[in-house]
């Protein structure tokens, strides 16, 4: 479904299956969505190529957020000490004006605060404060964003 060359059809299909998606969003081709009914996306959110949106435990993405290609949201983990190896689902919250750079990974149970930036190839396993810039594996703070954050990242290239 996410290989169809039309933002309108991809987003309409996700809405039909229970996702809540705001206006002016783009979802580029090749993205995988799990737990569609638990996916909430605000307005003017741009999601790059080949992302994994694991919303089984709940995934909320705030307005005016940019998620670069190959970013993964991991909505569950397994209890390795339990005999039945159960999956444990936890929500992920990405507040508004966040930028997740290419190949970032966000683990379940994490909240990324308003205006935060996650650098390329970072692994986020703990909450990120608002306006913080994090990088690395695991992601650690490397600075603070200095901006009033007044933008609307509408990105809808034809056939992508």
Average pLDDT value for the chain: 94
pTM above 0.95, yes or no: no
Question: What would the mean pLDDT of 97-115 be, rounded to a whole number?
Answer: 98
Q: Residue 99 and residue 87: Cα distance in Å, rounded?
A: 28
Question: What would the mean pLDDT of 149-158 be, rounded to a whole number?
Answer: 79
Task: Name 144's Cβ contacts closer than 8 Å, sequence gap at least 6.
Answer: 131, 132, 133
Cβ(141)–Cβ(134) below 8 Å = yes
In a domain, 155, yes or no: no
Question: CA 14, 128, 122: angle at the middle one, nearest 5?
Answer: 75
The pLDDT of residue 45 is 97
In a domain, 154, yes or no: no
- Model confidence band, residue 9 (pLDDT cutoffs 50, 70, 90): confident
The pLDDT of residue 40 is 99
Q: How many domains does the chain have?
A: 1
Residue range of the domain that includes 132 = 7-144
In a domain, 149, yes or no: no
In a domain, 102, yes or no: yes
pLDDT over 70 (residue 61) = yes
In a domain, 122, yes or no: yes
The pLDDT of residue 158 is 65
pLDDT over 90 (residue 6) = no
Quote the percentage of the chain above a pLDDT of 70: 97
* Nearest Cα residue to 94 out of 55, 56, 121: 55
Which segments of 16-150 are extended strands (E)? 20-21, 26-27, 32-34, 39-41, 46-47, 52-54, 59-61, 66-67, 72-74, 76-78, 87-89, 92-94, 99-100, 105-107, 111-112, 117-118, 123-124, 132-135, 140-144
Q: Return the bridge partners of 128, or none.
A: 112
In a domain, 150, yes or no: no
- Model confidence band, residue 155 (pLDDT cutoffs 50, 70, 90): confident
For 37, phi and psi rounded to 5 degrees?
-65, -15
Instruction: Provide the CATH number for the domain around residue 17.
Output: 2.160.10.10
In a domain, 64, yes or no: yes
Q: Residue 41 and residue 20: Cα distance in Å, rounded?
A: 6
For CA atoms 63, 66, 69, 72, the dihedral sign is: negative
In a domain, 136, yes or no: yes
């Amino acid at each position: 479904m996410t290989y169809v060359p039309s933002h309108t059809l991809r987003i309409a299909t996700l809405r039909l299956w229970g996702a809540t998606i705001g206006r002016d969003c783009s979802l580029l081709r090749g993205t995988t969505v799990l737990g569609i009914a638990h996916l909430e996306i605000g307005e003017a959110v741009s999601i790059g190529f080949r992302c994994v949106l694991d919303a089984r435990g709940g995934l909320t993405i705030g307005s005016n957020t940019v998620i670069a290609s190959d970013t993964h949201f991991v909505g569950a983990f397994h209890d390795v000490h339990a005999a039945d190896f159960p999956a444990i689902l936890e929500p992920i919250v990405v507040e508004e004006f966040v930028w997740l750079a290419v190949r970032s990974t966000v683990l379940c149970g994490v909240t990324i605060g308003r205006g935060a930036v996650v650098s390329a190839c970072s692994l986020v396993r703990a909450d990120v404060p608002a306006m913080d810039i994090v990088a690395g594996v695991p992601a650690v703070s490397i600075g603070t964003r200095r901006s009033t954050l007044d933008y609307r990242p509408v990105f809808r290239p034809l056939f992508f």
